[in-house]
A and B are shown apart, each in its own frame.
Chain A
Amino acid sequence: MPNAFNFTASPFDCLTQDEQRTVRDAVDVAYFAEGATLLEPGDAPSHLFVLIKGVVAQLDDGQTVATYGPDECFDGRALVAGRASHRFVALEEVVAYELQREAVMALIAANATFGALLFADIGAKLSALAERHSQHQLHSLTLSRVDEAFLRPPLIVNASTSVLEVVRLFQSERATSVLVRDTHSQPARTGIFTTNALQRAVLDGRPLHSLPVGEMSNFALVTMQAGDQLGDAMALMLKKRIHRVVVLEGTRIVGVLEALDLFSFLSNHSHMITVRIEQASDLPGLAEAAAQITRLIGLLHRGGTRVALIAQLVQQLNARLFERAWQMIAPPALQAASCLVVMGSEGRGEQLLKTDQDNALILRDGYAPPADLGALCDRFSDALASFGYPPCPGQIMLSNPAWRGSVSEFSRRAREWLLEPSDEHLMRLAIFMDAHTVAGDAALLDQVRASVAQVAHDNDALLARFAAAVDAFGHGSSWWGRLLGRGDAERLLDLKKEGIFPIVHGARSLAFAQGVAATSTADRVAALVQQGVLDATAGDELVQSLHLLMGLKLKAGLTELDAGKPVSGAVDMARLTTLERDLLKDALAAVKRFKAVLRQRFRLDTL
């Protein structure tokens, strides 16, 4: 049975052959009846438990803080500290490997990844994970399909076209190559003429206006299929010392892949979308670019890019997309005298897959907007809908008159939200607190913010009501039960309700109370740590947990999109890997600790 030790489960999946042998030689098998205690606070643990069968609960003062199932292990921290601080009880009869402490210590010393995965806090676990991922990143990008990179649409000319005309085409289309169709040969053939061949054409001596491009073209085309891998395209270009390959779908030419585009895709694939957004001349053009953002997210995620980085990139792309759309719709005078803001997750820069549009328009005091302002705003909301951002069910968008208005109107509304804190008003306040300018005069938003800040922040009852929403979805500890994956109905966990919202809103509430202006959760937490409201470890843990939850939500969402289903925001426990479940447990435990901090800070229990 030591030979049957499962080395595919984390953290043991990072061990070398020799290290696996260390494990096999230092592992015993123990049996525990239901209800038996495996580890008691104050015990000096002599081994790490790795469950083979059964379920173990980790209790802190009688409260379950985590559960462990097959292939999961505990308690790494206690093992290293030499002292257990929690009680571990068999919820069901347990058969477990017991890995001797000396062996665990030897593995930690020999293999840093193992150590990090085993007992470090969630941040270290994640960076250990990222380290493993980064090795695969370039690898997986090179496995992308050729047509996922930017393909230049093919420019095709007849072989009888003069070189001079082709050069004019190069100029007007900013191209460096054309495909040349020779219909006189039997059978008809296609070649390529590039700027490099132009030198030979000039040196040929014949006048360029009468020199047919066909004579100067290379008819030994190097082609690839659209479904081939980019890595192969790169290898082919290097081997043949060429700068372009013609990409086919069957026998049909779909475009030309240039070396420059290939390398820029591999180094910075967001670049192409930016180019498309910049170059789009109308709304349908922007919609095409918008459609690419989701694909890019999937690609980056599969490539193992950190979720915080993806979110940042998406925020920049979206902001630029919205700005360009607004520029195409609104007259310049309106653009200059107003401020277009996005709110909610988009405002915080924590949105990944497209969600409801939350946006608003703030007008300069004294500016008389055009008479058709309503129609313009409707067009903007429609444009966003055509980009794939569904209209907000709560109508929090500028097509709704309640979400557009002058600085003083917004200031008055915001003060109303504060003075009459109904649930509806507090929700609006929360959404508005995350506002972020994407187009126009950002100073207008700052003015509204400043006037909100004038309203007293030391109103404890108001703050408590505001913060109390962290418990709005309170499920007690039921989500621990779901982690066990018993029964289908219980396997789905709403990450937003259980984890993301409490973190985001908790940070927002503390930021509100402390007068922190930052809008992203990470920045808010950083400011709160600086002010000493949160300690640095707790802050780090919160941000890492948020990013983990966002990543899991993204992964589940992409899976749903692949299956042609709408994104539900729920994650299926059964689809998580052991490590992901492990990390999720840590993250949810961090959320729970944070809620306790909030409860104490805002005295929520007295409400």
Chain B
Amino acid sequence: MHGLHDRWQGWRRRWQLARLRAPEFAFMFAPPPPNEWVALDCETTGLNVRSDEIIAIGAVRIAGQRVMTSERLELLVRPRGGVSPDSVRVHRLRARDVADGLPVQDAVKRLMHFIGSRPLVGYYLEFDVAMLNRVVRPLLGVGLPQPCIEVSAMYHDHKFRQLPPSHQQGNVDIDLRFATLMADLALPTREAHDALNDAVMAALAFIKLQRLRAG
């Protein structure tokens, strides 16, 4: 099974590599360094993947059981449109705060260099990756090639395994909210909706859940 999966990953990588428009990003398709991941979080002007924009990116490398916050990536991005008052209430980044931010292409390039070929980790990562891919696709010709590890899915599996066998069928109601997850895992929390804080917290949850899975 494992061999098959690896072979499929290898094939996928080669296929994507073949479609890569920008050869300087070939490093993203190299085999990832062992035991390393990158936890990622973006703050956006809203939740619409088509129309909203990224305004902050926080990313941090995970090496084994360590979150390498000393090598963190924290970027502010200048959106083309405005910052809606509703979203300011969430992330507290006002238009003037992001006015000096990078153009989104530059920010995403820096992020790709930071990520390298490491798998991505995050909470509700699908959204962040979709937001990023809007910029990545025109650059590379393909989306981010890394496997994505969803912390809420890991948490779901973890809670599911703890259920008595009689309950382990059908739709199980497990509270997957981030605050619930962090509290249940007894991990320290910091102010949410700060891209870097969120990435670090997701990284910690990932490390602990990985550890719990190993038993």
Contact = CB atoms under 8 A, between A and B. Distances in A.
Interface of A: 1-4, 25-33, 52-53, 93, 95, 98, 100
B65 A30 contact: yes
Interface SS, B side: mixed
B186 A53 contact: yes
B9 interface: no
Query: In this complex, which of A4, A27, A28 has the most chain B Cβ atoms within 10 angstroms of its Cβ?
Result: A28
A4 to B, nearest CB: 4
Contacts of A27: 69-70
Given A1-B190, A1-B197, A2-B200, 5 more contacts: A3-B194, A4-B190, A26-B70, A31-B67, A93-B208
B68 interface: yes
Nearest to B207: A31
B187 interface: yes
Interface residues of B, number: 22
B188 A30 contact: no
Contact of B65 (A4, A32, A53, A100): A32
Given A4-B197, A29-B200, A53 B67 contact: no
Interface SS, A side: strand
Query: In this complex, which of A30, A31, A32, A53 has the most chain B Cβ atoms within 10 angstroms of its Cβ?
Result: A31
A98 B201 CA distance: 16
B69 A1 contact: yes
A53 B182 CA distance: 13
Contacts of B67: 1, 28-31
Interface of B: 65-70, 72, 186-188, 190-191, 194, 196-197, 200-201, 203-204, 207-208, 211
A100 B68 CA distance: 11
27 contacts: A1-B67, A1-B69, A1-B196, A2-B72, A2-B200, A3-B190, A3-B194, A3-B196, A4-B197, A25-B70, A26-B70, A28-B66, A28-B67, A28-B68, A29-B66, A29-B200, A30-B65, A31-B66, A31-B204, A31-B207, A31-B211, A32-B65, A52-B188, A53-B187, A93-B186, A95-B204, A100-B70
Nearest to A93: B186
Contact of B66 (A2, A30, A53): A30
Contacts of A3: 190, 194, 196-197
Contacts of A26: 70
Query: In this complex, which of A2, A25, A53, A93 has the most chain B Cβ atoms within 10 angstroms of its Cβ?
Result: A2
Q: Report the 7 A-B pairs with minimum CB-CB distance, sorted nearest first.
A: A1-B200, A29-B67, A4-B190, A30-B66, A31-B207, A2-B69, A31-B65
A97 B18 CA distance: 42
A53 B194 contact: no
A93 B209 CA distance: 13
B204 A29 contact: yes
Contacts of A25: 70
Contacts of A98: 66
A568 to B, nearest CB: 35
A43 to B, nearest CB: 15
Contact of A4 (B191, B207, B208, B211): B191
Contacts of A2: 69-70, 72, 196, 200
Contacts of A33: 211
A1 B39 CA distance: 13
